[in-house]
Amino acid sequence: MSVLLFTIIVLIGAFLAGLLGSLTGLGGGVIIIPLLTLALNVDIHYAIGASIVSVIATSSGSAAAYVKEGITNIRIGMFLEIATTIGAICGAIVAVYLNANYIAILFGCILIFSAIMTLKKKVNHTTLDDTDKWARFFKLNGSYPDRGVDHPYAVKHIPGGFFMMLFAGTLSGLLGIGSGALKVIAMDNIMRLPFKVSTTTSNFMMGVTAAASAVVYLHRGQIDPGIAMPVCIGVLTGASLGSKVLLKTKTDKLKIVFAVVVVFLALQMIYKGISGL
């Protein structure tokens, strides 16, 4: 395939991945990797390197808007970034030594898990009980504005959340994805944060987490300009369009259709991984 044709195909694919990733909340990374490896036969190491770059671009771009609105809890974000960056670097280092087939299988499993998570009904776990001594020490309790009203919230189970973040960071570094699904579990279910705060804070953390593993990937030659260029431009433009559409349309039906497609892609990746062993 010529360089020009390859660039155009990846650009279109990445645009669609970014668009659908932002509409469903899965993120562009989890869609662009199967596309590159299954449809274009790109080695998964290159696909991961390109994907992590697009994760930095989209998360930084959307974090800019959320941070300005004052919803993001910067203290929680920074505190948990210790865990995610350590995890990300460990994951990125392990990825180098791991056979591409094992990565593909693991990727497929995480993909299925993320798809199920986007369909699950969210249960509100928020609490106002601000007696947790860790939360007090690290000043993690806060409030967020919604239609002019300030909603206070309290944070719980900090060590549990921290440990889960270590795991989320490792997967992010290992697979080149934002691992938003895991981050939201850690913050919603374990730490009891309100959805608005957990999704925006998770997004805020993604940039630094991805940067930590991107540095390792860059050194290992996994970030190839020929792939990373169309991927990050495509995913970023697709994701920005998606976030604009998201404000106007309901995405419940789309989520189901899309989850089915994602599960299909995931099974393909697992199959490819197993048959290559």
Contact footprint for other proteins (CB under 8 A): 1-4, 6-7, 40-43, 45-46, 53, 56-57, 59-61, 63-65, 67-68, 70, 72, 74-75, 78-79, 81-82, 85-86, 89, 92-93, 96, 100, 138-139, 207-208, 210-216, 218-230, 232-233, 236
Least distance in angstroms from the C-beta of 117 to other proteins: 24
Distance (Å, rounded) from C-alpha 44 to C-alpha 41? 9
Least distance in angstroms from the C-beta of 123 to other proteins: 29
**Among 262, 273, 239, 223, CA closest to 48:** 223
Least distance in angstroms from the C-beta of 164 to other proteins: 18
List C-alpha distances in Å: 263 to 30, 60, 222, 266, 269.
Answer: 11, 28, 26, 5, 10
Least distance in angstroms from the C-beta of 50 to other proteins: 9
Nearest CB to other proteins, comparing residues 106 and 112: 106
Least distance in angstroms from the C-beta of 26 to other proteins: 20
Least distance in angstroms from the C-beta of 78 to other proteins: 5
Q: Which residues of 139-169 are buried (b: 16+ CB within 10 A; e: fewer)?
A: ebbbebeeeeeebebbbbbbeebbebbbbbb
Distance (Å, rounded) from C-alpha 54 to C-alpha 31? 11
Nearest CB to other proteins, comparing residues 26 and 236: 236
Nearest CB to other proteins, comparing residues 65 and 109: 65
At which residue do the structure tokens 């469903």 appear?
24
Least distance in angstroms from the C-beta of 250 to other proteins: 28
Distance (Å, rounded) from C-alpha 126 to C-alpha 110? 26
Nearest CB to other proteins, comparing residues 191 and 228: 228
Write out the H or E segment, with its range, that includes residue 33.
Answer: helix 29-34
Nearest CB to other proteins, comparing residues 224 and 251: 224
Distance (Å, rounded) from C-alpha 29 to C-alpha 178? 7
Nearest CB to other proteins, comparing residues 113 and 276: 276
Write out the H or E segment, with its range, that includes residue 211.
Answer: helix 195-219
**Among 7, 22, 6, 46, CA closest to 235:** 22
Nearest CB to other proteins, comparing residues 220 and 255: 220
